Amino acid sequence: MPVYSGVIFSKPEFDQEISRVVIEGHTSSEGDDKTNLQLSLLRASSVYTYIFYDMNFPTKGPLSQKILAAGRGEIESDKKRDNPGDRKVVFRFQFRSDELKKDILKTSL
């Protein structure tokens, strides 16, 4: 996250274009929906806590204004079987416009 944060705040246009960084917690399909949603939120919250209480990097303050922890439960899991790979945390970047997304897709292909 320090590297991502450093890039976001390296240029004013990046800072303005990236509106939010979402820490998404996910679970496998094992268990009931309510428990999985709570578990996924705890997973995302643990990562948030680690970033803001255990790490030290110069752009931590501004990043705290853009970051959000969210639980997604088993929404994107393999419903047919319990897959440990579904238990994860994903960082998603939300952009204000489609222009930056297009540029990123071009350079990453």
85: how many CB neighbours lie within 10 A of its CB? 9
Q: What share of the chain is helix, strand, coil (3-state, %, to 5)?
A: 50, 20, 30
pLDDT of amino acid 59: 97
pLDDT surpassing 80 at residue 103:
no
Q: Where do the domains of the chain lie, and which CATH numbers do they carry?
A: 2-108 (3.30.1330.60)
pTM value?
0.79
Examine the pLDDT at 40 and tell me if it is beyond 70.
yes
Question: What are φ and ψ of residue 107, in 5° steps?
Answer: -80, -20
Residue 76 has a pLDDT of 67
CA 25 – CA 2 distance, rounded (Å) = 19
* Model confidence at 75: pLDDT above 80: no
What three-state secondary structure class fits 76? coil
Q: Are residues 33 and 74 in contact, defined by beta-carbon separation less than 8 angstroms?
A: yes
pLDDT above 60 (res 9): yes
pLDDT greater than 70 at residue 65: yes
For residue 85, how many C-alpha atoms fall within 13 Å in the half-sphere facing its CB? 3
